[in-house]
Copies of this chain bind each other. A is one copy, B any other.
C-alpha cells in the first residue's frame, strides 16, 4: 500500500508543542507508582482551579447569552472579553489600547504560533532569549526558522550581547524577523529583566528596526512588588507584540489567551487564524466570571499559594542542595533555574531522579543547541503542596549527592 501522505509530499515537522509536554504523564516510579512529585511541567495546580465559580459563571452565561455564547463569534474574539481585558490593563498598567489592538487566542501558545505563521518563512533568522521555553524552540523549528540564541544573565536579556548579535547579522546582510523574550518571571529561569535592560533592548530594537514578541504569560503571578512595565508599555513606535494567557491566572483548559500590539499587525496576524475565532463559549464563561469581580480575588489567592510553593522550594534547596549548585530566586511565575555543580549532567540524572520519584526538565530542552544545557535544571514549583515540594527537593538532592 502506498502512503498518500508521503506521496503527496507532506512537509516534515518536529512534533511536540506545549500541550504535548503538559499532557505527557511523568514516567512511573519503580513498582508502577507515580512519582511523588513532578517539577517537570509549568502547569497550574489543579487544586487551585475555581471549578464551582466557573460552573456558576457558565450557567449564567448560557442562560443569559446562550444564543451568542453557542454561536459563531468574531475573529478577533468576544468584545466583552476584550473590553474587560483592556480595562484591566488600563487599571493596572496604565496601558491604553483600542479593541482592534487585541486578538483573543486559544492560549498564548496559539498567539505565538500565529505570529510565527504570519511572519516566518523557512530559513528566517529569529533572535531567541536563551535559555528559552521548549515550546517556542519547537515552534521555531516547526516554522523552519533559524534560532539565534541571545544570552541572558541575572538581570535578564543581555543588551550588549543583543547589540553584538544585531551588528554581526547586519554585517552579514541578515535581517532577523523578530526577538522572542519572556522579560517577566521568565520561563525557564524565573528571572525578570530589569527596567534599565528593558529600555536598552527597546532602544536597540528601534536602532535596528527589530520586531519584539514579548511573552508575558506570568506577569500576574507576582510575589513581591509589581514587575517593571512591559516592553509593550514602553514601546513608542509599534514594534512590540505581547502575548498573555488565562491559563496561569484562571484555567488552562479554557484555552484562552491574547495577543496585543499595533492594530495593523493584529489585523494581519488574525488573518492567519483558521479556527473560526476563539471559542465564544469559553470566552463568555470567562467574561462572566471576570465581570462578577471574581478574577482579581482569584489571582490574589493564586499569588499567595504559588508564593508559598516558591518559598518551600527555596527553603528546601538551601537545606538540601550541595555546595557548588546555584539557583535563581524568582519574584514571580512558576520556575526556578538550577545550575548543577561542575561535572554533572542533568540529562544523566533524570532517570535516577525518576526512579527516586521526582521529575524535572533537563536544561538541554531549553537551548536551540542541546549541547549547551547539560548543567541546568528547570524546576516548576507550580504543582504539589509545600510539603510535597520539600520532599521532592530532598529526593532530588539525594540523587545529586549520589552522582557526585
A275 and B4 contacting across the interface, CB-CB below 8 Å: no
Total copies of the chain: 2
Q: Which residues of B contact A116 (CB under 8 A)?
A: 274
- Contacting residues, chain B, for A66 (C-beta < 8 A): 46, 49, 51, 54-55
The answer to whether A3 and B238 touch (CB under 8 A), given A10-B119, A277-B19, is yes
List B contacts of A282 (CB < 8 A): 279, 281-282
CA distance A176 to B297 in the complex (A): 56
Beta-carbon contact of B264 and A3 below 8 Å: yes
Is the C-beta of A380 less than 8 angstroms from some C-beta in chain B? no
Q: List 29 A-B contacts (CB under 8 A).
A: A2-B237, A3-B238, A4-B211, A9-B119, A9-B121, A9-B177, A10-B265, A11-B119, A13-B271, A14-B271, A19-B75, A19-B276, A19-B277, A22-B72, A23-B72, A51-B70, A52-B62, A58-B62, A58-B285, A59-B59, A73-B253, A106-B106, A106-B275, A106-B278, A106-B279, A107-B276, A142-B271, A253-B280, A253-B281
The proximity string for A residues 274-305 relative to B, scoring 1 for CB distances below 8 Å and 0 otherwise, is 11111111101100000000000000000000
> Residue of B at shortest CB range from A64?
B51
Q: Which of B46, B110, B237 contacts A275 (CB 8 A)?
A: B110
A85 contacts the other chain (CB 8 A): no
Interface presence of A33 (CB below 8 A): no
B1/A238 in contact, CB under 8 A:
yes
B274/A17 in contact, CB under 8 A = yes
Task: Return the CB mask of A5-24 against B: 1 if under 8 Å, else 0.
Answer: 10111110111111110110
How close is A111's CB to chain B, nearest CB, in angstroms? Answer: 9
Taking CB atoms, residues of chain B closer than 8 Å to A276 are 17-19, 22, 106-107, 109-110, 252, 255
Across the interface, A43 reaches (CB within 8 A) one of B69, B71, B270, B279, namely: B71
Q: Give the distance to chain B from A211, nearest Cβ to Cβ, in Å.
A: 5
Mark interface residues in A221-238 (1 if CB within 8 Å of B CB, else 0): 000000000000000011
B residues in contact with A239, CB < 8 Å: 4
Q: A17-B274, A62-B58, A274-B110 are in contact. Are A268 and B10 (CB under 8 A)?
A: yes
How far is it, in angstroms, between the C-alpha of A22 and the C-alpha of B49 when the chains are bound? 33
- Which residues of the other chain, B, contact A362 by a CB distance below 8 angstroms? none
Expressed in whole angstroms, the Cα–Cα distance for A279 and B284 within the complex equals: 14
* A315 interface hit (Cβ, 8 Å): no
Asked whether A62 and B55 contact (CB < 8 A) given A237-B2, A271-B142, the answer is yes
Are the CB atoms of B62 and A15 closer together than 8 Å? no
Cβ contact within 8 Å between B46 and A71 = yes
- Determine the distance from Cα of A278 to Cα of B106 in the docked complex, in whole angstroms: 8
Return A350 CB to nearest CB of chain B, in Å. 21
Asked if A402 lies at the interface with its beta carbon under 8 angstroms from chain B, I say no
| A273 beta carbon closer than 8 Å to chain B | yes
Per the bound structure, the CA–CA distance linking A8 and B210 in Å amounts to 8
Which residues of the partner chain B approach A273 to less than 8 Å between Cβ atoms?
17
Among B16, B71, B252, point to the contact of A70 (Cβ < 8 A): B252
- Extra inter-chain contacts (15) besides given A46-B68, A51-B66, A255-B278, CB under 8 Å: A1-B238, A4-B209, A8-B177, A8-B178, A8-B210, A10-B265, A14-B271, A19-B73, A20-B75, A55-B58, A106-B275, A142-B272, A251-B281, A254-B281, A279-B282
| CA gap between A298 and B1 in the complex, in Å | 41
Q: Do B11 and A238 have beta carbons less than 8 Å apart?
A: no
